[in-house]
Homo-oligomer: A and B are copies of this chain.
Amino acid sequence: MQAMKVMKQFMEPQSVAIIGVSRYTGEGAFNILENLLGYGYQGRIHPINPSVNEILGLKTYSRISKIADDIDLAVIATPRALVPRLVKECADSNIKAIEIVAQGFADAIDDEGKQLQKEIDNIAKASQVRILGPNTFGTANAFVNFSSTFIKIKMKKQPIGIICQTGAFFVGFSELAFIGKGLDLANACDVNFSDGLKYFENDSETKVIALHIEGMQDTKAFTSISRDIARKKPILALKTGQNEQAAKAVQSHTGSLAGRKEIWQAALKQSGIIQVSDLEELIDLTKTFSVLPLMKKSKIGVATISGALGVMTIDASQNFDIWIDTLSPKTQKLLDMMAPSWLKVSNPLDIWPIMIESQPITKLLIDGLEALLADHELGAVFFIGAAFDEKWGTDLCQLLTELAAAHQDKPLICSIYGPSAGQAINEMQDAGKVVGFPTPERAIRALARLNEYSRLRSGL
């Protein structure tokens, strides 16, 4: 399959030519070559700069045609005016995959930008090259330590494939600091969402696909491909540019057509895609779907050390449509035996009065959570705890990770408060068994979407 071969050249190149490598390095230089060397990429790298013979210890070439090697991927990082000629040279040198970093094409307001974009489009049509961008951060792949980013990013072998129209997803966010695999379509003059989806569909290292969509051309192909994939892997999507003013901003950011909100909602639903409401939800669900197994039942069990946060959890469960109901008689009996006589054992379970019946207080906490995890009527368990300080956070992370490892088939999700909550949540993410959130509402929202997708997959 030729199409797939070229997508692999973008995502897993064995040799790269970087056209327009600056001799400036260090902070503020945004040197793609310097970054790439820092990631530990093992492929062959050929920098092109007509003014010097060597940059960062690598031999440079004056032009693409001088390189004897087979080039999987060419990255063009020059001012925009030079781009059409360079694309032509790449095509003439039989390079099939090209990334264009420069801005100022369909995203620009001047005639020159439009003209340049047209020239590129014509060259692409006349040859067999595929073009990613313009205005792109390029691609990233933690599994082969490769990225063509001009800002040094942090990569981690996590099973998340991102197709986006901004480098921000490569740079990361405070709660999703790393990228696994990514494809920044940016202006998407050629390589598009369907191409990216096809790559991730067949990629065994990718468990969840996250999309950031500003606009697209061929929605028909997109819908059809998505529907096929959604039966096998969850696809999450944040569609931005939801009204007229935003659509105008999309035009000047990536030159795309944004389209009407309602039409997009229907199209994404029809495609089996889980549409999120904002960036935070995309981050939350990406974390959740990449770590947790699917839910076998819709009812969830909740244990909380804070009665008040238990109340917030019930509020959220109604807002996000997930089912918290009475526990099975067996589980109820087990928990009754641990609880003080005055405590009403219910779901959510106020576990603090149970915990403090024993020393160390984690003993009955573990027993209580075990009782919920072992209950076959429950599709997932949600725990609300606190990281009073760093040690509490680390201990809690270890305790929950061990519980989750012993119950691999049941999602364990938690909400952590307290001053060291952020650290505890990060530690859980690193351990990769439990997903943590700073508020109960966000955890419940994520669990509700996991449940939706689980039902979809099981065909119920």
Contact = CB atoms under 8 A, between A and B. Distances in A.
Contacts of A441: 278-280
Contact of A342 (B113, B178, B353): B113
Interface stretch (A122-130, A203-211, A266-274, A415-423): A415-423
B214 A419 contact: no
A419 B103 contact: no
B417 A174 contact: yes
Given A28-B359, A104-B340, A386-B168, A174 B425 contact: yes
Interface in A247-262: 249-250, 252-254
A306 interface: yes
A249 B174 contact: no
Nearest to A387: B174
A360 B28 contact: yes
- Which of A253, A254, A280, A283 is the most central at the interface, judged by chain B CB atoms within 10 Å of its CB? A253
A284 B164 CA distance: 28
A166 interface: yes
B311 A240 contact: yes
Contacts of A109: 342-344
A327 to B, nearest CB: 14
Given A246-B315, A279-B439, A361-B28, A388 B308 contact: no
A324 interface: yes
Contacts of A165: 308
For this chain, the copies found in one complex come to 2
B309 A166 contact: yes
A411 interface: no
A8 to B, nearest CB: 26
A342 B108 contact: yes
Contacts of A432: none
Contacts of A177: 418-419
Given A104-B340, A353-B103, A243 B318 contact: yes
Given A245-B314, A342-B112, A439-B280, A174 B306 contact: no
A112 to B, nearest CB: 7
A167 B341 CA distance: 23
A371 interface: no
Interface of A: 28, 30, 80, 103-104, 107-110, 112-113, 151-152, 154, 164-168, 171-175, 177-178, 212, 214, 240-243, 245-246, 249-250, 252-254, 278-280, 283, 306-312, 314-316, 318, 324, 340-344, 346, 348, 350, 353, 356, 359-361, 386, 388-389, 416-422, 425, 438-442
5 contacts: A28-B361, A107-B307, A108-B343, A167-B306, A240-B311
